[in-house]
Amino acid sequence: MQPTMSTLRVLSLYAILFIGLVQCTSAQNQKVEDLSIQEFKALVDKTPTKIVLDVRTDGEVAQGIIPGAIQADFLGDAFQQKVATLDKNKPVFVYCAVGGRSSKAAKQLYDMGFMKVYNAMGGMNAWKAANYPIVKK
């Protein structure tokens, strides 16, 4: 027995719904979005209300920081307390020297309830290599 046209339509509809559900679930499971330094800067520039978070040490920050960024040393004892005071509804753009610490910090921020968290791959080294502006703290 061959399926009727209406049966094929229903099956097609179910297939489309299933694919959509899988894609939505995958998007919800994405905790942190890793961005190239160019994507990171472009999104920072076009996001009016945001938090730019530098998770490097005081010594590293003394060499320069992204304009408008705040520091919370990921390796310091007060990291959890400092970031707990930030607005969890604002997108957070996290960077470190090369991307390792910021990746860990970004996951931790997401786990703490921050809604949108972005990690700068390549960190401050990539930022400087792209000749983007920095300010001395």
Tokens 């390792």 belong to residue: 100
Contact of 31 with 107, CB cutoff 8 Å: yes
- Is there a catalytic annotation at residue 24? no
CA distances (Å), origin 25, targets 21, 108, 116: 6, 21, 16
Per the structure block, which two tokens stand in for 24? 């939505």
H or E segment to which residue 119 belongs: strand 117-120
- Count other C-beta atoms under 10 Å from residue 13's C-beta: 10
Query: Which residue among the candidates 96, 105, 106, 126 is catalytic per the annotation?
Result: 96
Residue 122 backbone class (left: φ over 0; alpha: ψ -120 to 50; beta: rest): left
Rounded Cα gap, residues 125 and 74, in angstroms: 17
Active site residues: 96
